[in-house]
Amino acid sequence: FRKGINMLWISEMAYKMKDNARMFFIITVVTAMACGFVSLIVSMGNETRDLYRKNPYAITYTPFNEQDQENWKKDIEEIEQQLESVGVKYEKHVQHSLQYTFKETSFTVMKASDYNRYAADYGLSTISVKNHEAITIFNSKNIAQLHNDSKKAVEHQQSLSKLTAKSTSFKIAGIEEINLLDRFGFSSLCVLSDEDFNGLAASLTKEEQGMDLSVLINYYIPSWENNQLPTEKSEEIMITKKIPETVVHGETGYAMLRGLHYLEAEQMYRLIQFIFLFIAILFSLSTVSFLYFKLYTDLQQDQKIYHSLSKIGLSQKEMNRAATIQMFVLFFLPLIVAAIGTLVTVAIIQGQVGLTVTFSPSLIAVGAFGAAQVLYFIFVRILYLRQLNRVMV
């Protein structure tokens, strides 16, 4: 291997790598940052679309105070009036939950019938709970993203065999792990039978009920399929736009309109996408300019070396091969190191900002920069070899 032309480019690269270590470091860092920006942009876009596609409810109304039914039910009537006025058929699913502090720990508690209906809408398996028993459910993906204190609290919850309330206790009959993060909005959940849940809620004082009881009113509309992303002219958008602002952001509650929420998120995503892609392009061009400048800084020295070697038998083909290998290493070694760093760091960053952690966005980003780097390499190689060929004997 260490013969002929191989020894030539190896010896030159050994010198250039040592001489240009600082430049390689800068290029690697800049490339990693650019790849990171692009991969985060792709992840954000995927997350925005997935949130719409995975949400079966076109409208979700959340009262601020479950006990203030006299006022927030007016908002419900307004929503239903808007749907009925245009002949839209809907199913209303009411979900009750309770934030309860047991002797052992605190849990968000839900009755089995509400959970099973919710699970069925999301395509999850239903569960069966007997009286005086409980099933605890955890989000395994979310647990991995929690900080140490929160993670210890969840691990403590998973180790429990029973939950003790004021006047009764519940045996933990099962522990489930499903992906709840973008569906139920909880990292942990306790499911009781309907009878036990009602008894637990009744044991609270009126003041506690106002603070700890919560309700969600979900509207499932079969005609508004969520497998296709909506546009401004979609029926879902046209109708939900007519719901008054006093209902969407009211004093007694707020309504989450799936289609409008997606369009607003998509607009914000496109703005961030433009900014991040602009920065990524600047970073990409800066790495090429670094390499281009360095190559032409060394051009005169390389011309002298190859001119001398051509006098003792180095052919133009051998010179082209040696120079191409050196340029390939200069262009793509920092990219390979940056790609490895991006795959590792982006997964950490995604977990911190709550995005879905997958390698596909990072691979897309690295692939895009790899393709751009190939084009830069071909262009610079043509220009550089043209200069070297002029000095060959």
Strand partners, 99: 108
pLDDT digits (tens, 9 = 90+) for 176-205: 877 655 566 667 788 999 999 988 888 876
pLDDT at 1: 40
DSSP 106: E
In the chain, where are the structural domains located? 4-51+267-389, 57-258
Q: How far apart are CA 266 and CA 270, in angstroms?
A: 6
Question: What confidence score (pLDDT) does residue 320 get?
Answer: 84
Query: Which tokens belong to 370?
Result: 């790899």
What does pLDDT average to over the chain? 81
Q: pTM of the predicted model, to two decimals? A: 0.73
**Would the pLDDT of 341 be above 90?**
no
Q: Alpha carbon of 287 to those of 108, 160, 209, 393: distances in Å?
A: 51, 55, 60, 33
Query: Which residues on adjacent β-strands are paired with residue 219?
Result: 59, 92
What letter would DSSP give residue 64? S
Looking at residues 129-146, what average pLDDT do you find? Answer: 75
Is residue 169 a contact partner of residue 163, using CB atoms and an 8 Å limit?
yes
Q: What is the pLDDT of residue 118?
A: 86
Q: What is the pLDDT of residues 89-121, one digit of tens each?
A: 999 998 888 888 888 888 889 999 999 988 888
The one-letter code for the residue type at 367 is G
pLDDT for position 260: 92
Quick one: what percent of the chain has pLDDT higher than 70?
83
